[in-house]
Amino acid sequence: MLQEKRLETILEQLKENRTARIADLSKKLGVTRETIRKDLYDLEKQGLIKKVHGGAILAKTNLEPTYANRSGSNVREKEAIARRAAQLVEDGEAIYIDLGTTTQLFAKYLDQKKGITVITNALLVALELANHPSCKVILSGGELRSGDLSLSGPVSRKSVEDFFVDKAFIGVGGLALSSGFTDYHVGESEIRRLMMKKAKETYALIDYSKFDVTAFTKVAGIDEIDVVITDAQAPQSIVHQLEENGVEVIVVEIEEA
């Protein structure tokens, strides 16, 4: 396949998913990983993408992939992160669960917890917990965003501002040393920051593809999160910087398929 066609295909995949792995592109396009690395280098020189550990992302900070595309990417990593996060929840706790594909999986793994209370602004998280035999779910009001089915805005903020929780479990769009923890939607990030202040501890659930990425709006500095739960593909340079800033980093193992 000619390079021009490869570059078009790479950009199409990035527009759909925002992220792409070198290994997946190599297999899809039938070329070596070194060829894909050179293609990504050329696209980065044009300002169209940004190379990250093991792959690439789109360069635009305000372009968020759809929930459907996000839910189908890095599933094994997200499942492992979600399972590990669920182990950190104790019976009887009050927790906040953020919107996101990983946090939705996290909610699924809470089925054995007893007497917990969950505050969320994510309809999909609430639905995941709807049949939980021992869980009280408090769903914020607010303006509904299609696709993600999340709630934000003044009504959402007002409905949760008087609650305090033991732990907040959040998802973000990006994590970079220069910009901290970032995301795409301003209103949702406002709710996220509010509940972080109301929590005794904050846990960020972030797979490797979010590292070295800066999204549209800041959520927190790198020293404002207590624990980051991620997978082994996360760049060690950023992991070490997090730890040097007092952040505990839990690296999960991915189960073999």
Query: Which residues of the chain carry a pLDDT beneath 50?
Result: none
Residue 230: inside a domain: yes
Question: Which pLDDT value is given to residue 190?
Answer: 94
Question: Which pLDDT value is given to residue 153?
Answer: 93
User: Is the domain of 41 the same as that of 78?
Assistant: no
Round to whole Å and give the CA distance between 83 and 85: 5
Question: Which pLDDT value is given to residue 204?
Answer: 98
**DSSP-derived secondary structure for 104-139:** HHHHHTTTT--SEEEEESBHHHHHHTTT-TTEEEEE
- Give residues with Cβ within 8 angstroms of 61, minimum separation 6: 182, 214, 215, 216
pTM, rounded to two decimals:
0.77
User: Is the domain of 154 the same as that of 211?
Assistant: yes
Question: Which pLDDT value is given to residue 182?
Answer: 93
Question: Which pLDDT value is given to residue 61?
Answer: 57
User: Is the domain of 103 the same as that of 198?
Assistant: yes
Question: Which pLDDT value is given to residue 209?
Answer: 84
Residue 158: inside a domain: yes
- Give residues with Cβ within 8 angstroms of 205, minimum separation 6: 78, 81, 82, 85, 100, 102, 103, 106, 169, 170, 171, 229
Round to whole Å and give the CA distance between 88 and 17: 30
Phi, psi of 67, rounded to the nearest 5 degrees: -60, -40
Q: Which domain holds residue 28?
A: 3-59
